[in-house]
C-alpha cells in the first residue's frame, strides 16, 4: 500500500520560503497570486493490507515525527 503524507504550515505561521517563491513568481510576470505557502510531501510504502490500520499508523507517525504539530498540519492520503 502506498501513502502520501502532506505537511503544511498552520495558518498564522509565517512562511518566509513561501513569501520568497511568491516574490519570484511575481518577478517572472505571473500576476493574480494571492499567496504562496510551501509544504512537504512524504511518500511511504507500507506492508499493511488494512486501510484503517494503515491510516492510524500513519497518523501516529505524523504526530511522533513527520510533522511538528506546534507549527504544522498534516494530511494523509492512501494512494
Partner 1 sequence: MKTAILVFPGTNREHDMAAAVRSVSGKDPMMVWHAETEIPQADLIILPGGFSYGDYLRSGAIAARSPIVADLLEKAKQGVRILGVCNGFQILTETGILPGALMRNAGLTFICKETKLRIERDDTIFTSSYKKGQVMRCPVAHHDGNFFADDDTLKMLEDDGRVLFRYCDAAGQATPEANINGSRNNIAGIMNARGTILGMMPHPENLIEDLHGGLDGRGLFESLLEKVA
Query: Is 56 one of the binding residues for partner 1 (CB under 8 A)?
Result: no
Cell numbers 515525527 label which residue?
A: 65
From the list 54, 66, 74, 76, which residue makes contact with partner 1 (rule: CB under 8 A)? 66
Q: Which residue blocks in the chain are alpha helix, DSSP H?
A: 16-27, 51-61
Query: Is 71 one of the binding residues for partner 1 (CB under 8 A)?
Result: yes
Round to whole Å and give the CA distance between 19 and 36.
6
Query: Is 35 one of the binding residues for partner 1 (CB under 8 A)?
Result: no
> Collapsing DSSP states into helix, strand and coil, what is residue 30?
coil
Residues that bind partner 1 (CB under 8 A): 12-14, 16-17, 20, 64-66, 68, 70-71
Amino acid at each position: 500500500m502506498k501513502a502520501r503524507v502532506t505537511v503544511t504550515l498552520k495558518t498564522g505561521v509565517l512562511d518566509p520560503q513561501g513569501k520568497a517563491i511568491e516574490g519570484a513568481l511575481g518577478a517572472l510576470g505571473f500576476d493574480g497570486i494571492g499567496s504562496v505557502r510551501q509544504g512537504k510531501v512524504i511518500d511511504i510504502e507500507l506492508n499493511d493490507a488494512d486501510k484503517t490500520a494503515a491510516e492510524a499508523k500513519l497518523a501516529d507517525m505524523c504526530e511522533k515525527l513527520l510533522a511538528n504539530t506546534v507549527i504544522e498540519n498534516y494530511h494523509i492520503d492512501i494512494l
